[in-house]
Amino acid sequence: MKKEELQSIASQLKKPEGEKGIEMANMMHETNINMTLSSIRNLTISQGDKILELGHGNAAHLEYIMQQSTHLKYYGLEMSELMYAEAQKINKQFVDKKEAEFVLFDGNIIPFPDAYFNKIFTVNTIYFWQEPVNFLLEIYRVLDNKGIFSLTFAQESFMKKLPFTEFEFNLYDTEKVEKLISQTLFRIVNSETLTEKIKSKTGELVDREFTTIVIEK
């Protein structure tokens, strides 16, 4: 693939836009579903939880979240206007019942008051954080005391094999993420690394190693 094509893939993964963005969102949902479910499971969702997801994509997994317990309130934050619109369309039933709310943001400042959520999760967004430590501090600020943050990412060893990750992406392994977290008041309570088989762009099966770090305030 040409450099321009690879750059285009990278920027669509960061912030899906236009017709290609909808295709990319559907593909991301399918490719990342195991990572998403792992992140959600690690939240141990219970009745009345206020849940925030950072970078929800098309949020086709919201129904699964809502099946975890009762009286849940879900908030989704996105930088992509396309994903913001798609997520509301796909999850109209939850939006209409005011069980889910989608909000656009700039990727840096979380537009909610202090200690607003007790569960927060994000999947495959850490690569795009502009100021990682400051963003972790923002997450810390909006998380309730004893709240849980589930951070899921694919390991650098896998990601660097993908030709488009040299553009727009900052790659991480567990050690690098733990180092970031150590610069905040967060406490790591668990770390789980799994390997799954996924289809590569050329159609062959490859092993992807991904990690969910569970962090507590």
Residues 60-82: tens digit of each pLDDT = 999 999 999 999 999 999 999 99
Burial class for 110, CB neighbours closer than 10 Å (0-12, 13-18, 19+): buried
Read off the pLDDT of residues 130-139 as tens digits, 9 standing for 90 and up. Answer: 999 999 999 9
Confidence class for position 182, pLDDT limits 50, 70, 90: very high
Structure confidence at residue 125 (pLDDT):
95
Task: Encode pLDDT of 105-137 as tens digits.
Answer: 999 999 999 999 999 999 999 999 999 999 999
- Answer whether 122's CB lies under 8 Å from 59's CB: no
CATH code at 147?
A: 3.40.50.150
What residues make up the domain containing 112?
A: 3-216
Query: Across all residues in the chain, what is the average pLDDT?
Result: 93
Q: Number of folded domains in the chain?
A: 1
In this model, does residue 211 exceed pLDDT 80?
yes
More confident call, 192 vs 19: 192
pLDDT at residue number 201: 60
Give the pLDDT band of residue 202 (cuts 50, 70, 90): low
User: Is the pLDDT reported for residue 168 higher than 80?
Assistant: yes
Contact 22, 82 (CB under 8 A): yes
The predicted pLDDT at position 14 comes to 77
Reported as a single tens digit per residue, the pLDDT across 30-70 is 889 999 999 999 999 999 999 999 999 999 999 999 999 99
Please state the pTM of the whole predicted model.
Answer: 0.93
| Residue in the block written with tokens 């990690």 | 211
Helix (H) or strand (E) holding 189, with range, is: strand 187-199
